[in-house]
């Protein structure tokens, strides 16, 4: 049996301000740093270790990976930063307030944009200053591969491809892997691995900074997944994510 640990980065500045983030490159808050360190402690206490770590190319995910590895005294292991693990691209919603968006378009539309499988956000124009096509860090990526806004299904395709082609071969070689990524990237990966139905996927909210352990069989198929830590704390943090954008908050 194999296992892999997935972690959503700790709270970011945009999470704290309740703004759509996507590919916006914002840092962790003090709380986020604390969450990342706590994730590392939980992993250490549960007895897991890693041979290699993955993150996206966004600093909240990189910082989280480093805080976790520091807690495990594993900052020396090989790491790979991959744009295919970036958060789902939130298109023209990036930088907008979730609450203001709910007030303007209604909670139902907000929920569709945030949690449906197939609905895309309004797309960015290619020359929008937020476009990844203008960013130095994506200069080696073909323009048509860089999204201007993604549905979760689009994210499932790129994350699933990365999982299948880059991570599974390492797991088969018995490499113990940490993946530090994002709320919707991890929802996409869970959808890819388990093909869960749309209703379950809609209700799936990944809490920040809580390690999620996947146990995998000899074919690298999931046996079960579970969070490390206290259930009550995990439920509270998942509900916090679900409630972002509630107008009545
Ligand atoms: O804004 C975002 O990029 C994501 C994650 O922070 O938010 P949501 O939970 O609304 O999909």
* Structure confidence by residue, pLDDT tens digits, 169-184: 999 999 999 999 999 9
241 pocket-lining for ligand 1 (C-beta < 6 Å): yes
Question: What are the tens digits of pLDDT across the range 181-231?
Answer: 999 999 999 999 998 998 999 999 999 999 999 999 999 999 999 999 999
Residues 231, 76: Cα–Cα separation, whole Å: 32
15 pocket-lining for ligand 1 (C-beta < 6 Å): yes
158 is in an annotated binding site: no
Beta strands in 2-87 (DSSP E): 2-8, 52-55, 79-81
Given a cut of 80, whether residue 245 has pLDDT beyond it is no
ipTM: 0.95
Q: Which residues are 225's β-sheet partners?
A: 214
Given a contact cutoff of 8 angstroms between Cβ atoms, the answer to whether 242 and 206 are in contact is no
Question: What are the tens digits of pLDDT across the range 35-48?
Answer: 999 999 999 999 99
The residue-averaged pLDDT of 115-123 equals: 96
CATH number of 2-242: 3.40.50.1240
Structure tokens, 99: 């609450």
Of ligand 1's listed atoms, the one at least distance from the Cα of 20 is: 1
Of ligand 1's listed atoms, the one at least distance from the Cα of 15 is: 6
9 is catalytic: yes
Residue 242 pLDDT? 87
Pocket test for ligand 1, best of 12, 20, 155 (most atoms within 8 A of CB): 20
Q: Which of 35, 87, 150, 182 is catalytic?
A: 87
Residues 206, 208: Cα–Cα separation, whole Å: 7
Question: Average pLDDT over the chain, rounded to whole?
Answer: 96
66 is catalytic: no
Task: Count how many Cα atoms sit within 13 Å of the Cα of residue 108 in the half-sphere of its side chain.
Answer: 0
Alpha helices in 143-195 (DSSP H): 152-162, 168-172, 183-194
214 is in an annotated binding site: no
Residue 64 pLDDT? 98
Residues 121, 112: Cα–Cα separation, whole Å: 9
Q: Where are the domains of the chain?
A: 2-242
Residue 248 pLDDT? 60
Given a cut of 90, whether residue 8 has pLDDT beyond it is yes
Task: Tell me the percentage of the chain whose pLDDT exceeds 70.
Answer: 99
Residue 249 pLDDT? 46
Task: Count how many Cα atoms sit within 13 Å of the Cα of residue 38 in the half-sphere of its side chain.
Answer: 18
Residues 133, 225: Cα–Cα separation, whole Å: 36
The residue-averaged pLDDT of 75-96 equals: 98
């Amino acid at each position: 049996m194999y296992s892999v640990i997935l972690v959503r980065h700790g709270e970011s500045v945009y999470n704290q301000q309740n703004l759509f983030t996507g590919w916006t490159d914002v840092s962790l808050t003090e709380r986020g740093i604390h969450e990342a360190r706590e994730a590392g402690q939980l992993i250490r206490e549960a007895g897991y270790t890693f041979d290699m770590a993955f993150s996206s190319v966004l600093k909240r995910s990189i910082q989280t990976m480093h805080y976790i590895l520091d807690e495990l005294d594993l900052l020396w292991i090989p790491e790979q930063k991959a744009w295919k693990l970036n958060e789902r691209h939130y298109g023209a919603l990036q930088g907008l307030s979730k609450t203001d968006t709910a007030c303007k378009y209604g909670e139902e539309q907000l929920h569709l944009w945030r949690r449906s499988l197939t609905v895309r956000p309004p797309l960015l124009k290619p020359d929008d200053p937020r476009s990844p096509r203008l960013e130095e860090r994506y200069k080696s990526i073909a323009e048509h591969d860089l999204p201007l806004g993604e549905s979760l299904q689009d994210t499932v395709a790129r994350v699933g491809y990365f999982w299948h082609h880059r991570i599974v071969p390492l797991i088969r070689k018995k490499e113990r892997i940490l993946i530090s990524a994002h709320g919707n990237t991890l929802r996409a990966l869970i959808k890819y691995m388990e093909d869960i139905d749309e209703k379950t996927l809609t209700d799936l909210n990944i809490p920040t900074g809580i390690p999620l352990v996947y146990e995998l069989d000899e074919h690298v198929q999931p046996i079960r997944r579970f969070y490390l830590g206290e259930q009550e704390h995990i439920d509270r943090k998942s509900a916090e994510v679900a409630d972002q954008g509630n107008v009545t908050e």
